[in-house]
Amino acid sequence: MRTRLLTPFTLLLFLILPHLSLAVESSPLSGKLVITGSSTVAPLVLEVGKRFEKAHPGVRVDVQTGGSSRGVADVRQNLADIGMVSRALNPDEQELKAFPIALDGISIILHKNNPLVSLSEEQIVGIYRGQIKNWKDVGGKDGPITVVNKAEGRSTLELFEKYFKIKNSEIKSQVIIGDNEQGIKTIAGNPGSIGYVSIGTAEFAAGNGVPIKLLPLQGISATVEEVKAGKYPLSRPLNLVTKDNSKALARSFLDFAQSAGVEDLVKEQYFVTFSKK
């Protein structure tokens, strides 16, 4: 039998083809991801983004706030690859796909020097409707109540309205705030104020010396541990949302944001880790 000799060109192909295949399979991620929405979710996503960029030097993750409504709207209008939404998707948003990355709760907060340690739900509604205007009427010191409310488009406001069965048009507020940090600074700077923010953000701030305190709800302490145990009544998922036809880079980021590789970041932000099932 006659042996067929390999030409130099054929031999070269045999040598380089396996490496070409490997290069295609392990080609590095690159490009820019725009992520907009909830100010509650943003600090966590910012840290996740930094870790993702470190693993993929060719990727840039741009995180912008503006509220959950912005996150939904931007994804719908192709202004963002991923939206941050600190609530479950509404019935009219079901064309989007939600990826839970953590759990959180919403807490009523007061200044640390306010002697009250609890308020009933009826008292909270009365304060926000402007029916109760002085702290002495709920067992506190004589002094006016400064009502701090969230701006329209914030999911925290939506959940507050739903839970307490109150419309935003009924709320008599003296101060309107946007993100959680602004709300915490407002309460910390005004001993007569009342507000509501993310439990995770508030617990972190209080633990680092900011003069605020979190009030219980239905007798359940407003803590990350109670949210984790499923006992706290006003809790919510923290979601990343996207369209079904999202690009490969976005899908890679979503997988990473739901992985065990970022659980330490979730805990550092005082949120509850979300287990994929």
CA angle 213, 69, 217 (to 5 degrees): 25
With left for phi above 0 and alpha for psi between -120 and 50, is residue 153 left, alpha or beta?
left
What per-residue confidence (pLDDT) applies to 275?
61
What per-residue confidence (pLDDT) applies to 3?
47
Written as six digits, the tokens of 5 are 């000799």
What per-residue confidence (pLDDT) applies to 12?
46
What per-residue confidence (pLDDT) applies to 60?
97
CA distance 254 to 109: 32
68, 86 Cβ separation under 8 angstroms:
yes
Instruction: List the beta bridge partners of residue 58.
Output: 30
State whether residue 238 is helix, strand or coil: strand
The per-residue pLDDT for range 70-114, each reduced to its tens digit, is 999 999 999 999 999 999 999 999 999 999 999 999 999 999 999
247, 81 Cβ separation under 8 angstroms:
yes
CA distance 164 to 182: 22
CA distance 174 to 182: 14
Written as six digits, the tokens of 237 are 């998922």
The per-residue pLDDT for range 175-209, each reduced to its tens digit, is 999 888 899 999 999 999 999 999 988 998 999 99
What per-residue confidence (pLDDT) applies to 1?
46
Q: For helices 180-188 and 199-207, what crossing angle results, to 10°?
A: 50
If the chain, 277 residues long, is cut into consecutive pieces of 10 residues, what is the mean pLDDT of each piece? 49 48 56 94 96 96 94 96 94 94 95 97 98 97 97 87 94 92 95 95 93 97 92 93 89 95 91 73
pTM above 0.85, yes or no: no
127-134 CB contacts, 8 Å cutoff, 24+ apart: 127/194, 128/164, 128/166, 128/170, 128/171, 128/172, 128/173, 129/166, 129/170, 129/171, 129/172, 130/171, 130/172
Residue 164 burial (CB count, 10 A): 17
